[in-house]
Amino acid sequence: MIQNKNILLGVSGGIAAYKACALTSKLTQQGADVKVIMTENAAKFVSPLTFQALSRNPVHIDTFDEKDPSKVAHIDLADWADMTILAPATANLIGKLAGGIADDMLSTVLLATQSSVYIAPAMNVHMYAHPAVMENMKQLDSWGYHFIEPGAGYLACGYVGKGRLEEPETIIEVVDQHQDRNALFSGKKVLISAGPTQEQVDPVRFFTNRSSGKMGFALAERAAELGAEVTLVAGPVSLEIKNQQIKRIDVVTAKDMYEAMHEHFPANDIVIKAAAVADYRPKQIHEEKMKKQSDDWHVEMERTQDILQSLGDIKEHQFLAGFAAETTDPVEYGIAKLQKEKPGMPSLLINVAAEGWICR
């Protein structure tokens, strides 16, 4: 997966910068086109000429060293990269990236690139365990950055513990495996529904359920990681999407979700119905708040449209998966649900209570 890739290697100012030389050499030997960006402090540990000789490309340090007037160097590099590797990544670089600071060539490129970024930290064991560093790494992880954890052992400062830059061979192996997994759904379009629906009674009341949407959101994130083009139709939830490449469509009612799913269904290859859609809705929606009454209040309900069954009726090439939540006899109900559907039934039914699946 590394062969013929454009790889930016960011080298920050730590003693482990010497390992980045071997990393540059090995990436180049495996057929990658490597361009190195160093911080000024990194150049105090290793000469830029070393990286230039190993990569056979110019080394970039100064943001304002614009060699080609037709291009803005840091944007050109950011757009050029298929992937970016930060090795070593110091606590300072991690902090700047988490804080959105762009005060040198490397940090500026990092804010501009849309490529996958792999971060290989290297620092003193106590620095690595500092709450600020931990919080910064947690923040970057939530944004979709990928970490290659440091090894444990004897450190240059004399301490023994976690903080050693991983060996170049291991870094390449981790990146290669991750890129390989990410290509699994490459070229596929995935449509996922998530969360509950809300069915209005009056301006202040509605019927809903306890669905959090976490299952559908997790599936969307994973599908995107595997290289799919993902559309997520979400009911009312308090969740945020980490991967900004996911197209999110927010809906409220079962009717809204029905229309959104049918609109996008034909263009997708894989469709996963993980939403908990209301089976019934109030037959009458009151325009004003219903006042408290002295006797009981009866709300007449009507059936909503069955989204899963309706998609099964029209599916052609799509792989269609549906979820069913049951409190008793989940397998039996799951089989019955599959058998009830028409010939265009879902390809897969996942029963939440049983934590299993039924396929036909």
Q: Which two tokens stand for residue 117?
A: 């970024």
Domains 6-182 and 189-359 share a fold: yes
Separation CA 7–CA 82 (nearest Å):
6
Q: Is 21 among the catalytic positions?
A: no
Cβ atoms of residues 56 and 88 within 8 Å: no
Separation CA 128–CA 90 (nearest Å):
9
CATH of 189-359, one of 1.10.4080.10, 3.40.50.10300, 3.40.50.300, 3.90.380.10: 3.40.50.10300
Task: State residue 340's pLDDT score.
Answer: 65
Q: Which two tokens stand for residue 130?
A: 């500092």
Any residues with CB less than 8 A from the CB of 288 and at least 6 apart, and which?
Answer: 202, 203
CA atoms in the 13 A half-sphere facing the CB of 317: 7
Residue 124, beta-bridge partner list: none
Find the catalytic residue in 157, 249, 301, 335: 157
Q: What is the CATH number of domain 6-182?
A: 3.40.50.1950
Q: Which two tokens stand for residue 273?
A: 């119905």
Q: Tell me the CA distances in angstroms from 275 to 24, 198, 203, 285, one per residue in order.
A: 46, 12, 24, 23
Q: Where do the domains of the chain lie?
A: 6-182, 189-359
- Cα-Cα-Cα-Cα dihedral sign, residues 277, 282, 286, 287: positive
Cβ atoms of residues 200 and 206 within 8 Å: yes
Provide the b/e sequence for 98-128 (b: ≥16 CB within 10 Å).
beeebebbbbbbbebbebbbbbbbbbbbebb
Phi, psi (degrees; rounded to nearest 5) at 292:
-65, 135
- Verdict on whether the full-model pTM lies above 0.75: no
Task: State residue 355's pLDDT score.
Answer: 45
Q: Going from the first residue of the chain to its last (360 residues), give the mean pLDDT of each consecutive group of 10, the final group possibly shorter.
A: 90 95 96 96 96 96 84 90 95 96 96 94 92 95 89 74 87 86 82 96 94 94 89 96 89 97 96 94 92 88 93 89 78 70 54 46
Separation CA 190–CA 192 (nearest Å):
7
Strands of 83-89's sheet in order across: 33-38, 6-11, 83-89, 116-121, 146-147
Residue 276, beta-bridge partner list: 196
